[in-house]
Amino acid sequence: MPNLARELRVTDYFTLAFGTMVGVGWLVLMDDWLGRGGPLGAALGFALGGFLLLPVGYVYGQWVQRLPDAASEAAYTAQVFPPIVSFFTGWVMLLAYFIVCPWEAVAIGKVAAYIFPWLNSLALYSVAGQPVFLPRLLLGAAMTVFLAFLNYRGIRLSATFQNWTASTVIFLFLLLLGISAWRGSPTNFQPLFRANPFVSILLTLQIVPYFLTGFESAPKCAEEANPGFKRAGYMRAIALALLIGAGFYALSIVAVGYVAPWQSLLGKRFATAIAFEQSLGAHWPVRLILVIAFFGLFQCFNGNFVASSRLLFAYGRRQTIPVAFGRIHERYQTPSVAIVGIAIGTIAGLLLGDALLVPVTEVGSMASAFGWLATCVSFFLIERKLRSRAVTLLGMLVAALLLLMKLVPAFPGHFTQPEWVALAIWLVLGASLHLRGKM
């Protein structure tokens, strides 16, 4: 029976985790972030979110060293909870990864249309008042097929692609920060908050789980570590990716708020690009930002594709869904059927078009927080060291708070009917696959 190829090193795990977090949200949703918290409120929301998630990252680092299983959350919770609980815990976490794939497939057309307006032509239909254009649909589908092919042919090929895209994003982003510092002004930053500081930071914190989901993607590929890999490397990769990812988002908000009056950007598509174009009076910064965005999109799409396909594969191998998803390609040593399944699901989600973008962040945030909470609770129940239990308890509290902010109506920005419907559909799909897996 073939096994997954063992090719990954510490750098690969870092770029996988970082890339899974950082896509194009900082370009296509910057106006939403500024509208939630203002420049300082939104930046503090992301920075605080990254810091608060460190205990959760610690728990994942501990779990993967003890139990290197692609099922990750499902495997961890299975140690202390009944099978049905572990199944739906992992299934909800799979949603957090998978839902990003059609998001990025839609976003690539949205970003490309900023450069080539003709892509916004040949509208086929509308979803929630948003037209779905044929050229953008084809572009998203082509990108999905390309990444599916890349992943199908081997994890080393996918990891190399991830390393190059992540390195390019980080380098060009540092250049963008320099431009903001050179041409920006503190007056553009006023007022610092959209509402009062607490509400501004809280509204941003609600979406942080979605955009920082990815630091825990490394355990999904734990079975593909190089034979010489030291398990302590998981912890380093997770912590570094979490801190750099949160810093990336926080600094992107600061850069935009510093380079142009942020209130003039509210309601504007591609507010990040508009801010730099207005400040410099030239179009070349827009090209630079779009280059970063494309590389960020590629790395985020690929990272979430890898993570979701491994989770789906692990479910098939555990026979909790149809066993076909657990097959490994004899030549390429990849979860080939799971990869094809994620690709098909991505293209199906792509058909929803731009209407998918903002609601996805809400559902993804809840799914991530739920998975983090279950993972922390599971570790707390088996851990005996007092210090580790204390850190784990902090992780539980953070994850529980992030989950409650999405589910309890008393919090602004809580789940509305469309989010509940989307979650219900996903749970019904999981239940039906689970029943078929048992037949």
Pick from 242, 302, 234, 240: nearest CA to 10: 234
Answer yes or no: is pLDDT of 236 > 80. Answer: yes
pLDDT of residue 385 exceeding 70: yes
Tell me what the mean pLDDT of segment 369-398 comes to.
94
Q: Per-residue confidence at 360, pLDDT binned at 50, 70, 90?
A: low
Domain layout of the chain by residue ranges = 10-368+399-438
What are 253-280's pLDDT values in tens digits? 999 999 999 988 888 878 888 888 888 8
Residue 369 is predicted with a pLDDT of 87
Q: Which residue has the tokens 């190059």?
A: 164
The pLDDT assigned to 413 comes to 63
CATH code at 10-368+399-438: 1.20.1740.10
pLDDT tens for 36-49 read 999 999 999 999 99
Say yes or no to pLDDT of 1 above 80. no
Residues 6+ positions from 102 with CB-CB distance below 8 Å: 345, 346, 347, 348, 349, 350, 352, 356, 360
Provide the pLDDT for residue 154: 92
Q: Are 285 and 269 in contact (CB under 8 A)?
A: no
Averaged over 328-349, what is the pLDDT? 94
Asked if the model's pLDDT at residue 138 lies above 90, the reply is: yes
**What are 4-16's pLDDT values in tens digits?**
999 999 999 999 9
Q: What is the mean predicted confidence (pLDDT) over 286-312?
A: 90
pLDDT value of residue 76: 96
Average pLDDT value for the chain: 89
Among 320, 295, 103, 306, smallest CA distance to 214 is for: 306
Which residues make Cβ contacts (< 8 Å) with residue 172, sequence separation at least 6? 288, 291, 292, 295
Q: What is the pLDDT of residue 405?
A: 80
As beta bridge partners, residue 132 has 125
Mean pLDDT of 201-215: 84
Confidence label for 401 from pLDDT (cuts 50, 70 and 90) = confident
Contact between residue 387 and residue 410 where contact means Cβ atoms under 8 Å apart: no
**Spatial CB neighbours of 78, under 8 Å, sequence gap ≥ 6:** 71, 86
DSSP-derived secondary structure for 5-34: ---B-HHHHHHHHHHHH-SSHHHHSHHHHH
Per-residue pLDDT, 357: 58
Percent of the chain with pLDDT over 90: 54
| Statement: residue 308 has pLDDT above 60 | yes
The pLDDT assigned to 359 comes to 62
CA atoms of 434 and 393, how far apart (whole Å)? 31
Whether the pLDDT of residue 28 is over 90: the answer is: no
143-157, 213-227, 413-427: least confidently modelled range: 413-427
Question: pTM for this one?
Answer: 0.90
Query: Residue 234 is encoded by which pair of tokens?
Result: 């998981």
